[in-house]
Amino acid sequence: MCGGRGRAYHLNDTQHICFDAIQPGVTQAGSAVKCASFNRSPLPRRYVNIGIPLTNLRAWLRGERDRMHVVRVPSMRDEASRQMMRDRGQLQKEVLQHRDRMRKLLTTLGCWDDVDHRGFAGRLARGEVKCYDDTPMPPELRERLLRECERLALVEQQFAALEKTRHENLPAAAHKRIEDLSRLKGVGPVGASRLALELFWRTFHSRREVGACAGLVPQPYDSGESRVDQGISKQGNRRVRALLTELAWSWLRYQPGSALTQWFHQRTQGTQLNRRSRRIAIVAVARRLAISLWRYLKDGVIPEGARLKSA
């Protein structure tokens, strides 16, 4: 909503600001995003107030950046580019859901046929899939399985079509980022595409911005009398956070000589049976990996000890 409204105002030569609607100095997960719009003039003549003090907006315009947290809205091109990979993930999820449903329905009959086999739908239509005692399948259940097979075939067809065209309409800058990320061992083409389109479309000015954008920064609480670690902030893009955690595990496997892998092994030495400590450490690896990949794309600095794929 904020992005679409901002683009519409921009076409009318109206500046549009989206910001995190929390009080200065307060961190709150899941806070709402609010908007302010005004004509481009020294003082805002036309102003849309949605629950914010006007003094905070004037202070921010004077350069007091700590008064409000402004949200960066992606361009229409960047937003459209991200939808292809998100749609791919949704289609992949639907394929697994259809197959899992069919397995569970067959289990109720004591049937263990392989639903992943290409000929399963044909065997089901010919009545060759039977119950555990070799009796015919009930017609109601058979018809439902046939409908599931039809929906699965449609999803697989859409998935295959998307795989062929998902790189055709991407901007040249996104293509370059995807190619650079794919050169590193442990980073596949799908992970590189998702990371380039979901995270690295932005321009970061420091490593702290990278970690905060992914929601992987620690969130300590210090009241003066007690200090409590509240875990990570989780205020960033949840897709990026899950992807970086997945890439961190892949990095440990395919980059055993890198500094990040060595740090993880030193940090978890003697705690192989403690899964919680390893999960905490892998989040730190994910944050450091995001920063290393940002430096790699920005300055061409290969992560310490990392290896590239052979040509």
pTM, rounded to two decimals: 0.77
Whether residues 180 and 67 share a domain: the answer is no
* % of the chain surpassing 90 pLDDT: 49
Report pLDDT for 273: 64
* Residue 34 in this model has a pLDDT that exceeds 70: no
Report pLDDT for 217: 86
| Whole-number average pLDDT of the chain | 83
Whether residues 67 and 123 share a domain: the answer is no
DSSP for 61-101, please give it: HTT-GGG-EEEPPPPHHHHHHHHHHHHHHHHHHHHHHHHHH
Report pLDDT for 219: 82
- Residue 29's CB is within 10 A of a number of other CB atoms, namely 11
Report pLDDT for 226: 79
Residue 21 located in a structural domain:
yes
Mean pLDDT value across residues 81-97: 93
Least confident of 4-8, 236-240, 247-251: 4-8
Least confident of 26-35, 61-70, 139-148: 26-35
User: Token digits for 215?
Assistant: 């929601």
* Residue 98 in this model has a pLDDT that exceeds 50: yes
Whether residues 179 and 60 share a domain: the answer is no
Whether residues 222 and 244 share a domain: the answer is yes
Whether residues 283 and 182 share a domain: the answer is yes
**Which residues, 6+ apart, have CB-to-CB distance to 56 below 8 Å?**
24, 67, 68
**Which of 165, 196, 228 represents a domain boundary (last residue)?**
165
Whether residues 195 and 224 share a domain: the answer is yes
Alpha-carbon radius of gyration of the chain: 25
Mean pLDDT value across residues 207-228: 84
